[in-house]
Amino acid sequence: MNSNTEHQLKFFLTEKLMRSVNIEPGLQTLRKLMQDTKVNGYIAFLPDYTPANSLPVGTSFLLDPSQKLNPSWIGMDIGCGYNFLELDLDLKKVYKKGKINQNRLQKMVDAIDSVLKPRSNLSYEKVPLPIDGIQISADRYLGTLGQGNHFIDIFYIDEIIDQKVFKSFKLQENRVYVLIHSGSRELGFKVHQYFAELFSAHKDFSDFNAAYLEGLQTAIEYARANRRKIAENIAKVLDCGIKEIFDQDHNAIDSCLYQNTRQLRIRKGATLMQHNKPALIPANCSSPAYLVKPDVNIADTYYTLPHGTGRKYTRAQLFAKFARSKKLSEQFKNIMLNVSPKKMIEEVPTGYKPISDIIKAIIDYKLATPIAKLIPLAVIVDRD
């Protein structure tokens, strides 16, 4: 790190997780991006720590609002997050006594897939940013999923671990649940590109920060609207009611009061725990996910939790391993897909750390405790 800026780092990883990931590449990127930045306290690294082109996935820290903000901390997937829904559909329609109704589940997957394509007849309220093409992007991509690791999971509740808390959130065991993972789409990309180009040349920190935070918040709000538009379209196409359990982002900067001082909280791949809301930690597309509640030490990570399990291998490594594999379909044998396994190489289950390791870490550090275990029935992605 810069000799004038030495950061304190705190890892919330078990010994097993520390051995499972090469820590240094992520730290090298962090040193480069934050060499002139003074944080308040330490930089927290969550159990799903994974090196990335921006800050490592699973990073959370606080800083004074006077510090210059670097758009590369968050990157282009601004406002990416999860919308977790309970569908007013009896689970027995698609899953009963350990058996999947393949025909009904396939129709559900096909129906959801059909409403995720870009449409020119949708519109979003005017985006107050002077960036070329940004309104067109907002209109065209509203209600679309996006590629990368964005997805929609269809779940059922396999086990209730904490019955009292489960009931307190007014959840029902025999319902179909959906998790929407998406972000601000092309609009977020344009916001990031615009401010990344301004960053190095801009001399006035306060002017740049104010403009960037306005652009960032616009993209975050759009990401939420995008997920809710997807949810609305799912309700229409399945002809059912929906109940939003939570909408939580994990790529964002937000203002918070911490130890009686107003701070900016930077979160890269770090889910913000909302008051009186549970959180969901998914794994890969065919492993269990866990609904969790905060525990006594959640403030140690600035009220954030891992948003997943983190990759064990890069996308390039997975393509090298599976591009010619004749056993690729075996990786997805327990899950219904809307695309061929060939188009899912970068999401093979063995490419991710085990969810059991992540849950053990959050329990060991007393960050959160499980409420229920969910099993995925299907995953829907955009691979066109």
Map out the domains of the chain as residue ranges: 8-380
What's phi and psi for 371, nearest 5 deg? -105, -45
Q: Of 365, 243, 346, give the one whose Cα is nearest residue 295.
A: 365
Q: Could you tell me whether strands 261-268 and 57-63 are parallel, antiparallel, or unpaired per DSSP bridges?
A: antiparallel
Q: Is 69 helix (H, G, I), strand (E, B) or coil?
A: coil
Q: Of 336, 341, 334, give the one whose Cα is nearest residue 103.
A: 336
Cα R_g (the chain), whole angstroms = 20
DSSP calls for 259-328: TTEEEEEEEESEEEPPTT--EEE--STTS-EEEEEE-TTGGGGTSEEESS--BSS-HHHHHHHHTT-S-G
- What local confidence, expressed as pLDDT, does residue 125 receive? 86
- What local confidence, expressed as pLDDT, does residue 202 receive? 66
pLDDT tens by residue, 31-53: 999 988 999 999 999 999 999 88
C-alpha–C-alpha distance, residues 332 and 327, integer Å? 10
At 95, the amino acid letter reads Y
C-alpha–C-alpha distance, residues 305 and 246, integer Å? 14
Is residue 3 predicted with pLDDT exceeding 70?
no
Residues 238-249 have a mean pLDDT of: 97
Is residue 120 predicted with pLDDT exceeding 80?
no
For 339, counting Cβ atoms within 10 Å of its Cβ (0-12 exposed, 13-18 middle, 19+ buried), the class is middle
* Residue % of the chain over a pLDDT of 90: 79
Quickly state the pLDDT bin for 75 (edges 50, 70, 90): very high
**CB-based contact 362:306 (threshold 8 Å):** yes
E runs forming strands in 298-367? 304-306, 336-337
Least confident piece of the model among 179-188, 306-315, 372-381: 306-315
**CB-based contact 248:79 (threshold 8 Å):** no
Q: Of 75, 39, 40, give the one whose Cα is nearest residue 55.
A: 75
What's phi and psi for 276, nearest 5 deg? 60, 30
- What local confidence, expressed as pLDDT, does residue 5 receive? 65
| Mean of pLDDT over the chain | 93
pTM listed for this prediction: 0.95
Please state which architecture CATH assigns to domain 8-380.
Alpha-Beta Complex (3.90)
Least confident piece of the model among 8-17, 144-153, 202-211, 281-290: 202-211
pLDDT tens by residue, 258-290: 888 899 999 999 999 988 899 999 999 999 999
